[in-house]
Amino acid sequence: MIETTLLVVSGKKLTVPRLLKRTLQIAIAVMLTAAVFLVVIVGNGLLVGRQTSLQAGINLWLAFIKRPDILATMILTAFVTVLFVYWQRNQERRAGGASRTQG
List the chain pLDDT tens, one digit each, 103 residues.
688 888 888 888 989 999 899 999 999 999 999 999 999 988 888 888 766 788 888 898 999 999 999 999 999 999 999 999 988 888 888 887 555 554 4
pLDDT score, position 94: 83
pLDDT score, position 10: 85
Q: DSSP of 1-56, one letter per residue?
A: ---EEEEEETTEEEEEEHHHHHHHHHHHHHHHHHHHHHHHHHHHHHHHTSS--HHH
pLDDT score, position 103: 45
Q: Please choose, from the candidates 37, 28, 29, the residue with its C-alpha nearest in 3D space to the C-alpha of residue 57.
A: 37
